[in-house]
Amino acid sequence: MLFLNRSVFTLIFISIASISLSAKQEVAQTKVNEVAQEVKKTPFEIYWEKYYPNAKVLCAKFEQMTPEDIDTSIKEITKTFSGEPWTYFLNNKKNFDVRYLESILSEFRILSGFVSQARVHRKKNIVKKFEYGTMTVQDQYNYTTLKEYWEKKGCSSYHELYALEFDFLVIKFNSYILSFFKEQRDVRDVDNLLWTMSWLVGNLVGSAYEAAYQENVKRFKKVFEIWKQQLKEKKKEEESDDDEYDDYD
């Protein structure tokens, strides 16, 4: 702590007292702006930034929210993952790398699954997730899909969610292709990956992402065909080498 003598303290006091009214108003306005900025945050934004809960917890919370609030919340989630994804797992990005990719994709699978299965009550405006095959005839009459509801309201968060999941899958696809000579990759793994990409693009119809992402899927499928052809040739070479070795024996 600093101790000031009487004369210095007096000078400081006079200096403070001489602040003009306009300066005081400026300070006051700054405080008002800061408070207003805090007020603008939705309850979900505050909750999200404080806890960064996992996808299962988020989906349970979504069922207590309106479709519009879920739309706003998903935008906040995609903003984090597209800008600073490490904040979901770590305090800084120093140790954040591709090892977290599977964890990110796992979270996105749960979130996109919720969006696909969630329904909105036509009269009560409440959201409920139905597992596949569990909806009764009455449920089908009472509920509309969450995506249909959003489309009518002009909400677009699910497009951002699906597009970002696609972007992360591209990273995984590239890692598969780049490492296929070094690691024994099952062709079915890549095939399933491309199926998921196609499914995501199917949910981007009518969005700003549709054309570009459809083109990406076509390109990746072509790369996959080349990859499979090279894999066949590699196996033939290995079998040929084995035959030559057997003949030598």
pLDDT for the residue 248: 54
DSSP 220-232: HHHHHHHHHHHHH
Tokens of 127: 């959201």
pLDDT at 244: 58
Do 168 and 108 contact (CB within 8 A), yes or no?
yes
d(CA 110, CA 4): 61
Q: Is the pLDDT of residue 147 over 50?
A: yes
Task: Return the closest-CA partner of residue 77 out of 37, 48, 41.
Answer: 48
CA distance 120 to 118: 7
> Average pLDDT, stretch 210-219?
96
Q: Which pLDDT tens digit goes with each residue over 3-29?
A: 334 343 343 333 434 444 454 455 445
Instruction: Write down the mean pLDDT value for the chain.
Output: 83
The tokens of 28 are what? 């006051």
Res. 201: pLDDT tops 90: yes
8 A C-beta contact, residue 46 and residue 97: no
Q: Is the pLDDT of residue 173 over 50?
A: yes
Amino acid at 114: F
Beta-carbon contacts of 240 under 8 Å, excluding residues fewer than 6 positions away, are none
Q: Alpha-carbon distance 53 to 75, whole Å?
A: 15
Which of the two residues, 237 and 56, has the higher pLDDT score? 56
pLDDT digits (tens, 9 = 90+) for 82-120: 999 999 999 888 889 888 999 999 999 999 999 999 999
Q: Which residue has the higher pLDDT, 38 or 58?
A: 58
Q: What is the pLDDT of residue 249?
A: 57
Per cent of the chain over pLDDT 90 is: 60
Angle between helices 210-248 and 157-178 (to 10 degrees): 20
Does residue 69 surpass a pLDDT of 80? Answer: yes
What pLDDT score does 15 carry? 41
Other CB atoms within a 10 A radius of the CB of residue 60 amount to: 12
- Predicted pLDDT of residue 186: 77
Mean pLDDT of the 30-57 span: 75
Amino acid 13: pLDDT: 35
| Residue 145, beta-bridge partner list | 119
Model confidence band, residue 41 (pLDDT cutoffs 50, 70, 90): confident
* Rounded (5°) CA angle 76-87-190: 85
Q: Which has the higher per-residue pLDDT, 165 or 30?
A: 165
pTM: 0.78
Of 225, 227, 196, 226, nearest to 213 by C-alpha is 196
How far is 127 from 197, CA to CA, in rounded Å? Answer: 27
